[in-house]
Structure 1
Amino acid sequence: MYTWQHALWQQLRDSFQQKRFHHAQLFIGLPGVGKFDLVKVLASTLLCERPEGFRPCNACKACGLLAAETHPDKLLISAESNSIGVDAIRALSDFIHHSALQGGNKVVLIKDAEKMTHSAANALLKTLEEPNLNRYILLTCNDKSQLPATVLSRCGQQSVAVSEVSCAQNWLSEQHIPLHEFVWVEQFYLQPLKLVQWHEDGMLDKIQALYSFASHLKESHNFAEVQGILTEHTQLNSVFYVFINQQLKYRLQQGLGFSAYNDAQKALHRFMLDTQQILGLNQSLGLAKLIYTLQNAIK
């Protein structure tokens, strides 16, 4: 468990001990704050035969099964092909209503619940509306605005966030990652695990190239490099968006006309929307169009 999650864990422990613990808990937060890691520890605690101080003992039979990922009373549901379908949620309902094979609690984890289809979300409602004793559903979500209000209203909602930047900075320093080399990292201190993942995946230099391009948008000549990075690593489109958006706001403060700023923002939002929603999109062409619009806006 991460240091920035300690206060939330205390709240969960207290609510459980006071029998106020909701049977369906939704953990909401930015990618990179450790929501799913927290949920896994919580699931292990709920399934442990002898939890100690609201933590799994790591010694009982249940903890052994959890370590081997073979516990029959734990079910993980995550997106396949970028969505969670109705069949997965129907399987959840069957799982919940059967007896616990280990005679204790049963726990379902739904990772990235916002990826449920409309039909899946409707199917989940039936289970949420009829809670069973000793059955728990733990959901994570990056953006709760993408979940139906009916689902939200039937869950206990927990915010998972880095409350103090210094907390994340101290933790990151212990990971021995050379983040001091990059000016842009301060924009992602509230998502420390994302920075660690980028380091492990060898992405830091690629992100630096995106930052350099955005910071010198009018003079930038490494379009081919940026094009190659975003084509190969489409998940970095959101990072590129952050850098471009920051640069546009800076230009606005420096005297860029509001009309030009508005046109540039529209082009940026259109590029992001297209890359997220249009299958088979010619990203190179879309990026070239975006850069042409941006460079003309800030001339």
Structure 2
Amino acid sequence: MIPTWLQIDYQRLVALGANKQLHHGLLLLGNQGVGSFDLAQQLAFDLLCLTNPMQACGHCKACLLNQSQTHPDYLLITPEKDTISVEQVRAISDFFVTSASYQGNKVVIIKNAESLTLSASNALLKTLEEPNSNRYLMLLAQNSAALPATILSRCFKVQLSVDLELAKSFISSLGIDINAPWVRAFLHRPQTLALWQQQEQINVIEDLYTMMMQSGMQTRHKQLLELFNQNPDYIDIFVQFYAQKLQTELLSNTLDIKRYQEKSQALLSFADKFKEVKGLNLSLQLNQLLKKLSYL
């Protein structure tokens, strides 16, 4: 289902497809939780429908195959071990050059396109530069700056965003209190909240926020480490919550600009190390961070 805040973007792309003007290479840019994949997948189903052009009927053989995730003319590429390899991109080329099973379109979606290795990006250029007819490639990414300029220049870019009022309505429909202070950090990622609720993580995240707002962070090392080892995604949430706390302290004049900058830098450095350094000693790095946040 297309989120309400993406309906305008979706209808615009559908109109382009109906008029045979849909670009063969789409780049959908949006934060995690904005609904980029839902939009791309619906477009793929529309393109593959055998009954209605650019409007999946939900009943034809192609639509039924899509619903069971077995359509032979649809390919989903996701990172393997944090990267998308050149071998995966070559598989896209092989997929596109073969005939469509139903004599129609073929569609590939690449999730987390920022994960393309340099060699994979170079290999993808040929597909973008020399497209076969009735072949559509959709790249999903959070930030265009993470992609090579050569890729960007060959794609039709769509920047996806969230209308805050629509997001609040959606979050309220989940039974989540939109006035809870921790929710503010995720209004631009409403589907992330839906996923957490589905996975029964909301209470844990609320507890994490409460912990962030309390004093004596250095004494929280054991609790935080257990959470981070349980689910590394909590590190990103911790960073967002603490950044929100620092902004609140700055605006209330309980933290001067110099200390705000130093603490923010320490927080970002910790987040970057976790993402970039393999085999990171998480316990040690967390202990060092908490010391800096406590004493800076």
Give the counterpart of 2:240 among 239, 242, 263. Answer: 242
Give the CA deviation at 1:217: 3.8
- Tell me what 1:10 maps to: 11
CA distance in 1, matches of 2:181, 2:211: 14
User: Once the 2 structures are TM-superposed, how far is the Cα of residue 255 of structure 1 from its aligned partner?
Assistant: 4.4
One-letter amino acid of the structure 2 residue matched with residue 273 of structure 1: D
SS in structure 1 at match of 2:196: helix
Q: 2:193 & 2:285 partners in 1: Cα distance?
A: 27
- Aligned residue for 2:62, secondary structure, equals helix
1:242-296 Cα shifts (integer Å, max 9, x gaps): 1111222222231423332222122112211111111221212111111111111
In the alignment, residue 21 of structure 1 is paired with which amino acid? L
Please give the TM-score of this superposition, normalised by the length of structure 2.
0.93
Contact kept? 2:172, 2:178, Cα under 8 Å: no
- Report Cα offsets for 1:181-227 as digits up to 9, x if no partner: 84211221121110011112222222223222222244674432222
Q: Is the 8 A contact 1:182 1:208 kept in 2?
A: no
Aligned match of 1:215 = 213
Letter in 1 for 2:258: S
Q: How does 1:26-37 map to 2 (within 5 A)?
A: 26-37=27-38
Q: Show the 5 A alignment for 1:113-128.
A: 113-128=113-128
The Cα RMSD (Å) is 1.8
2:178–2:184 CA contact under 8 A, matched in 1: no
Aligned residues: 294
Match of 2:156 in 1: 156
Query: Which residue pairs with 2:103 in the alignment?
Result: 103
Q: 1:94 aligns to what SS in structure 2?
A: helix
Preserved CA contact (<8 Å) 2:57 2:63: yes
122-131 vs 242-251, which moves further? 242-251
Q: Distance in 1 between matches of 2:161 and 2:289?
A: 33
Residue 157 of structure 1 and its aligned partner are, at CA, apart by 0.7
Residue 202 of structure 2 aligns with which residue? 204
Q: Which runs of 5+ in 2 are unaligned?
A: none
TM-score by length of 1: 0.92
Cross-structure match for 2:278? 279
- Partners of 1:212 and 1:221 lie apart in 2 by 14
Deviations 1:96-137 (A, max 9, x none): 111112111111111111111111111000110001111111
Identity %: 37
Alpha carbons 2:25, 2:128 under 8 Å: kept = yes
Q: Decide whether aligned partners of structure 1 residues 222 and 209 sit closer, same or farther in structure 2, where only a CA change above 3 A counts.
A: farther
* Residue in structure 2 matched with residue 192 of structure 1 by the alignment: 190
CA–CA separation in structure 1 for the residues paired with 2:3 and 2:256: 44
- The reply to whether residue 252 of structure 1 matches residue 234 of structure 2 is no
8 Å CA contact 2:185–2:244 kept in 1: the answer is no
